[in-house]
Chains A and B, each alone.
Chain A
Amino acid sequence: MGRYIVRRLLQAIPLLFIISVILFVLSVEMGDPLATFGGRQVIKSEDRKRLTRQLGLDKPLYVQYIVWLVGNDWMTMDVNGDGKPDVDENGQLVYGTRKGILRGDLGTSFVTKQPVTEMIAERLPNTLLLMITSEVIILIVALVIGLASALKQYSIFDHTVTAFSFIGYSMPIPLLALGLIYIFAVYFKRWGLPYFPTGGMFDPQAGPSWQQTAWHLVLPVTAISLISIAGYSRYVRGSMLEVIQQDYIRTARAKGLAERRVVFIHALKNAALPLVTIVGLDLPFLLAGAVVTETIFAWPGMGRLFYDHTTRSDFPVLMGIIMIIAVLVVVFQLITDVTYSFLDPRIRYD
């Protein structure tokens, strides 16, 4: 098992490398910092040349890639273009200020001038709160519904669940989210019922607290969960149906075991195993849906950060977020693989 883990780790490295190259190429192609740096004013050609040298854009691409990866604080700068390394007022050589991706430097926001890593770190916990709460609910509800559906195959319950599942995962997020807000916030308010808040993590007048956050979590979590539950429950149902047909279930029954034991010990363990992979691989992508949901519910998370800064063309922030998520995907793939191989005895003992 240990060798398997090491092998997977080694496989992840070239993957991360290729991802970094792709993202770097995209950064270079699509981001033109010069276009935005000067704000609305036209940059004078002198300043343009200066900026070019300062940002290292005059260097060949592979050098730019290395700088992007490991920074340039070990390289001397030549901003004034005289062919000699710059010196500061004390006569000391001036070095670059970037530390590179590998050391956690994702650049600085064009808009807020904050280090991107700092900005993401601020918002990430909020998104994680949203995602993890949703994922837990999704798993529990999907397992219950999927299981019940499989055991009562072709019943009215099953048909209803299937119909709702299809509608659920065909639903565009805005329709669901706005619909939820409309019913549970707007109409509830009109009818004098306790209503759910629609924005942010807490009521500005009440101030942040656990209760406020929990209250504010309800609607966005519902929006995210419903769609995923629809998909997962169908998967659980399918997996369970397949397992129930297997010979070893027949053997379990032939031994005289109670049906409950057959289902929950013999069947479920086999049916739920592939779910681990699905969930593990899906987790980082839940973040994608977060963009739309967080925007609608004004939730201060990474998705909303991404959207806000897209409209302001704040490229470092955007690429920084994409980079973080891509890395998370690879990391989660690794964790999922290892967890799965640990849980499935056929792989663990080989």
Chain B
Amino acid sequence: MATASEALSAIHEETLTKQPLTPAQLAWRRFRRHKMAMFGLLLLILLIVYVVGGSFVFAEKYANFVNTGIKLQAPSQAHPFGTDAVGRDILARSIYGGQISLLIGLAAVIVALAAGVTIGALSGYYGGWIDSILMRFTEAMLCIPQLFLLIVAAKYLGDKIHNFQAFGREFSGSVIVIILIIGFDSWMYLARIVRSQFLSLKEQEFVTAARCTGTSNLAIIAYHILPNSVAPIIVNATLGVANAILTEAYISFLGLGVRQPTATWGNMLESANRYLETAPWLWFFPGLLILLTVLAINFVGDGLRDALDPRAMVE
């Protein structure tokens, strides 16, 4: 029969020796509970396998192979997704197009992160007139309608960068242009989030402590505050990828986005309008792929939002 003090010390023992879960582990646990989020993650992985693995099945030459003799054929065994207006196999094109669409989505967000985090951090940390100016500028950018501005930018800058070679393949310079303009028109949301995080975190005691030990401002920003504000940035960036993919699709659909020879899901939709009645497979498959990708990302983003909720960090 244990005495009270022995019972108490047994409890303390357990609490002290059991390894506490890191925030990342806690977050993953919570994420796993989300059925939708896990489904989204699975779907995303499948899509990535599709666009990457598919390139081992179909060569890019095949995807770009023009054969007007078999143009506008309905889905068949030879061409499971049918052929397009110049006889290219849509399945193969959707694989390579998917690579670019996903790449653009990811890269645009990286650009937006670079700009947004920098501006938000400077604004939030230094405050004062830096904050006023940067925030006014951010607000002003938010007032300018994104799609309209991007369309104009895409039109005028689209051919400013030459086609380039990478991985033994040729890419249209417009890919880089699209990445940059989408990135430079989506940083505002991130900037606001980062700024509000910084505003609240810089008053915390660990920042004061860091200052007392003489840590430079840059180090405080980079090593102390930023790591603590990561959660909403991750959520927003994830959802930003979905937004970027959709935006690229819209611009390319209107014929002003990524140009030949590079395919994207968006520019595969371009000719669909004309052949609406006769060849629905032209828009159905790329459209479906975009839907599935954006859906998966939204599920994952939703799960991340719950998993990374700071209130949930204390288990």
Which A positions have Cβ atoms within 8 angstroms of B? 14-15, 18-19, 22-23, 26, 30-31, 166-167, 169-175, 178-179, 181-182, 186, 284-285, 287-289, 291-292, 295-296, 306-307, 310-311, 313, 318-319, 321-322, 325-326, 329-330, 333
Contacts and interface: CB of A to CB of B under 8 A. Distances in A.
A313 B156 CA distance: 9
A170 B297 CA distance: 9
Contacts of B253: 174, 292
Contact of A15 (B140, B269, B277, B284): B140
Contacts of B153: 30
Contacts of A313: 155
B136 interface: yes
Nearest to B150: A288
Nearest to A169: B298
Contact of A19 (B140, B269, B273): B140
A310 B141 contact: no
Contacts of B299: 166
A229 to B, nearest CB: 16
Given A166-B295, A175-B291, A291-B254, A329 B145 contact: yes
Given A174-B253, A291-B148, 4 more contacts: A22-B144, A174-B272, A310-B256, A325-B148
A285 to B, nearest CB: 6
A18 B283 contact: no
Interface stretch (B5-13, B24-32, B230-238, B242-250): B242-250
A7 to B, nearest CB: 15
B148 A288 contact: yes
Contact of A178 (B255, B276, B291): B276
Nearest to B297: A170
A178 B151 contact: no
Given A18-B137, A170-B298, A288 B146 contact: yes
Contacts, number: 131
B144 A322 contact: yes
Interface string B122-150: 00000000000000110111111111110
Interface in B210-260: 242, 246, 249-250, 253-256
Contacts of A284: 145
Contacts of A318: 148, 152
Nearest to A295: B254
Contacts of B254: 291-292, 295, 307, 310
A26 B144 CA distance: 12
Q: Which 9 A-B pairs have the closest CB atoms?
A: A175-B287, A170-B295, A170-B294, A18-B140, A288-B147, A329-B143, A30-B156, A19-B140, A172-B290
Interface string B171-200: 000000000000000000000000000000
Interface residues of B, number: 46
A289 B147 CA distance: 8
B145 A178 contact: no
B286 to A, nearest CB: 8
Contacts of A179: 284, 287
A172 B250 CA distance: 8
A174 B276 contact: no
A182 B290 contact: no
Nearest to A296: B273
A175 B280 CA distance: 10
Nearest to A182: B280
A307 to B, nearest CB: 6
A171 B295 CA distance: 8
Nearest to A167: B295
A172 B273 contact: no
A181 B155 CA distance: 28
A224 B234 CA distance: 29
Contact of A326 (B136, B145, B242, B287): B145
A18 B283 CA distance: 40
B140 A322 contact: no
Given A291-B254, A322-B148, A326-B145, A172 B249 contact: yes
B298 A174 contact: no
B313 interface: no
A30, A288, A295: residue with the most chain B Cβ atoms closer than 10 Å = A288
